[in-house]
Amino acid sequence: MNRKYRKTVIAGNWKMNMLASTVKPFMEELKANMPKVRPCEVVLCAPAVIVPTLLKAGKDCKVAAGAQDVSKYEKGAYTGEVSASQLADIGVKYCIVGHSERREYHGEDDMLVNAKAKALLEKGIVPIICVGESLEQREKDLTLEYIAYQIKAALNGIDATQVRRCVIAYEPIWAIGTGRTASAQQAQEVCEHIRAVIRGIYGARPARAVSILYGGSMNAKNAAELLAMPDIDGGLIGGASLKPVDFAAIVAATDQE
Ligand code: PGA
């Protein structure tokens, strides 16, 4: 983490879990376990239908509500889609785009991820742009090259002022939901590389202002070591964000110098 230049962000990704009716007890338990000192922004990204409940329940606990996906279209005949203005209108501050599960199961490509990020920025919502390599790419030593490609594609046409508001999440696919976390060194190497790619496009100042998160089996035990790395500015947390005590412990792990 480097708090001098950028925000630390702990974002939970509930995926297709939780019910609106379980949000309140969840938030009560989270509040009871949340550390008093909290030098980070705390976000929970919920399924769209649960976001309004989360917005209400999160206020008391100072937890921002995020969404997990958005349409690239502004409005109109797109059955099933949710637009950036609809999210902004109810007070959504963050939205995940390009999660590997959406890329894999819903055929999202880099151009679509880019369009979604732009749609969000236009409405003042912070896109949490996910990138990450497969195990095969890592084994073939293609990680850095592939990540650079994904970052460039996702940020295409986004200007230097807008990029400062973006959050990038490095999520190696082989580490998601597998219990196989990247080592702090592996994660730092890629996050540092992501910053270098952003520096190459926009220059030093925007690059040092972008928060870069690590995601992939981050938990209460390994969070502190990952967060101690200079280019890891937080986490995108799946499984452990469903357990209030564990999620609160990850938030507490940001309290380090
Ligand atoms: P995980 O998921 O923490 O359960 O590995 C992370 C993510 O997919 O965002």
pTM of the model: 0.97
CB distance 238 to ligand 1 below 6 Å:
yes
- What are the residues whose beta carbons fall under 8 Å from the beta carbon of 58, sequence distance 6 or more? 27, 44, 64, 65
DSSP 50-108: GHHHHHHHHHTTT-EEEES---SSSSSS-TT---HHHHHHHT--EEEES-HHHHHHS--
Q: What is the pLDDT along the chain (257 residues), one digit of tens a residue?
A: 888 899 999 999 999 999 999 999 999 999 999 998 888 999 999 999 999 999 999 888 899 999 999 999 999 999 999 999 999 999 999 999 999 999 999 999 999 999 999 999 999 999 999 999 999 999 999 999 999 999 999 999 999 999 999 999 999 999 998 888 889 999 999 999 999 999 999 999 999 999 999 999 999 999 999 999 999 999 999 999 999 999 999 999 999 87
Domains of the chain: 9-252 (3.20.20.70)
Structure tokens given for 230? 């200079």
Atom 9 (ligand 1): residue with closest C-alpha?
Answer: 238
CB distance 229 to ligand 1 below 6 Å:
no
Among all residues, which ones are annotated catalytic?
99, 171
Q: Which atom of ligand 1 is nearest to the CA of 218?
A: 3
DSSP 198-236: HHHHH-HHHHHHSEEEEESS--TTTHHHHHTSTT--EEE
